A and B are shown apart, each in its own frame.
Chain A
Amino acid sequence: MNINFTLISQALAFSTFIWFTVKFVWPPLLRAIEERQKTIADGLAAGERGRHELELASQRATDILKEAKQQASDVILQAEKRASEIVEEAKRAAKEEGDRIISGAKADIHHEVFSAKEALRQHAAKLAVAGAEKILRREVDAKVHADILASIEEDLSNG
């Protein structure tokens, strides 16, 4: 354990090795590592960008989908409204038509009843006159009593 010239020679060797490492070993590897780090960082950034774009696209797709759904439901709503309108309208038209038909039928019936009554009345008057004629043929001169017969006939017709 004695200090001697070995110390100085070892120090020189050490310094030489340090110089060698500083000059030749460290720079190329550092360069390679830094370049790779840059490549990796670029790749990561590109990936991040892609992810961001995907996010935007999916956001847009969702928006479009939502809009389409909204439109579809609007259309359906309008269609339903229109359909109910049409149904209502049809109902109303049908009711009107029905009313009209009913009232027409009623008027017809009324008319028929009236004319039937009229016919009946005339018929009854004729029967009455015929009966009366048969009774009166023996005692009544048709010519003399023609005005009376006419008035009876008229009364029956009107009654």
Chain B
Amino acid sequence: MAADTELTPTKYIDHHLTHMTVQVKEGAFWALHLDTLVTSIILGIIGMGCVWLIVRRATPGVPSRRQAFVELMIEFIDNEVKNTFHGNRHVFVAPTALTVFVWVLLMNTMDIMPIDITAWVTENVFGLHYWKIVPTTDVNTTFALALTIWFLMIFFSVKVKGLGGWMYELFCTPFGKNPLLWILNLLFNFIEYVSKPLSHSLRLFGNIYAGEIIFLLLGMWAATGVAGAFFGAILGAGWAIFHILIVTLQAFIFMMLAVVYISMAHESH
């Protein structure tokens, strides 16, 4: 921890919420949160790599326990996708949903890690003073995912309906094709196109960030003495157990919204 002076609650929280940042180029935009990027990529490689290693040896016969687990997860996701998306889901949508779910779930799960222990490890083992290990508490991550889904949405809209069809939808739905309504329709669609990635990303970010803050507050309480440590530990355990539900639920919601948005792009209004 930053211990050049006395450790105040503000400094404690500040320390935990500061990213390890490198500057790619000059300018505020060209900052890169290395901790977010590296952690998320490691988690993605672990998650998708494990699934890949298991799936590579998948047999149509009696599955091993690991294969059965992966199949269970994939069939669960596949079922959800099947209920929402009515095209050939195996080409793109279902694997994308799997990626989103596994990756976001792993990134969210980092939230349950004991914050001060991981901070101690990153500081004393890897020598990194600032290192946030929960990529989804970085709004860049959630926006990156939501915007990728957003671009996919527009891509599939144009691909399925053609550029003309997409334009027609922008100008002539949902109110009608009267030229007087064109501006209104466009405005409406514009709001929809803006609100989708915003709500998509901020929902995930908000939930996980809030969870992180609660853990930090409980950690601060633990610093006040024996009683604080005791109740902080109990509440922290309770919150962590409850958080298992939240991280899974948020990963699932994020995946479902991605599937719904891409499905909507495939269907005409």
Binding site for B on A (CB under 8 A): 1-11, 13-15, 17-18, 20-22, 24-33, 35-36, 39
Contact status of A3 and B140, CB under 8 A, knowing A10-B40, A17-B99, A25-B55: yes
Contact status of A10 and B30, CB under 8 A, knowing A17-B48, A25-B52, A25-B95: no
Task: Name B55's closest neighbour in chain A (CB-CB).
Answer: A29
Q: Contact: B37 with A10, CB < 8 Å? A: yes
Cα A154 to Cα B141 with chains together (Å):
165
Q: Contact: B70 with A29, CB < 8 Å? A: yes
CB neighbours (8 Å) of A10 from chain B are 36-37, 40, 135, 140-141, 144-145
Q: Which of B34-93 contact A (CB under 8 A)?
A: 36-37, 40-41, 44, 48, 51-52, 55-56, 58-61, 63, 67, 70-71, 74-75, 90-92
Interface residues on B, range: 35 or more
Question: Smallest CB–CB gap between B37 and chain A, Å?
Answer: 5
Question: Smallest CB–CB gap between B26 and chain A, Å?
Answer: 12
Contact status of A25 and B40, CB under 8 A, knowing A4-B29, A11-B147, A15-B148: no
CB neighbours (8 Å) of A6 from chain B are 31-33, 36-37, 138, 140-141, 144
Cα A89 to Cα B61 with chains together (Å):
79
Q: Contact: A4 with B31, CB < 8 Å? A: yes
Cα A30 to Cα B51 with chains together (Å):
13
Contact status of A29 and B74, CB under 8 A, knowing A6-B141, A24-B52: yes
Question: Smallest CB–CB gap between B46 and chain A, Å?
Answer: 11
Q: Closest 10 A-B residue pairs measured CB to CB?
A: A10-B144, A35-B60, A6-B140, A32-B58, A26-B95, A11-B144, A6-B33, A4-B31, A21-B95, A36-B60
Q: Contact: A30 with B52, CB < 8 Å? A: no
Question: Smallest CB–CB gap between B147 and chain A, Å?
Answer: 6
Question: Smallest CB–CB gap between A75 and chain B, Å?
Answer: 58
Contact of B75 among A4, A17, A28, A33 (CB under 8 A): A33
Q: List 10 A-B contacts (CB under 8 A).
A: A5-B29, A5-B32, A6-B140, A18-B148, A20-B48, A21-B48, A21-B98, A25-B52, A29-B71, A33-B75
Question: Smallest CB–CB gap between A39 and chain B, Å?
Answer: 6
Cα A11 to Cα B142 with chains together (Å):
9
Cα A14 to Cα B139 with chains together (Å):
15
CB neighbours (8 Å) of A18 from chain B are 95-96, 99, 148
Task: Name A1's closest neighbour in chain B (CB-CB).
Answer: B139
Task: Name A23's closest neighbour in chain B (CB-CB).
Answer: B95
Question: Smallest CB–CB gap between B212 and chain A, Å?
Answer: 13
Question: Smallest CB–CB gap between A63 and chain B, Å?
Answer: 42
Cα A141 to Cα B60 with chains together (Å):
152
Contact of A14 among B28, B92, B145 (CB under 8 A): B145
Contact of A25 among B24, B30, B51, B71 (CB under 8 A): B51
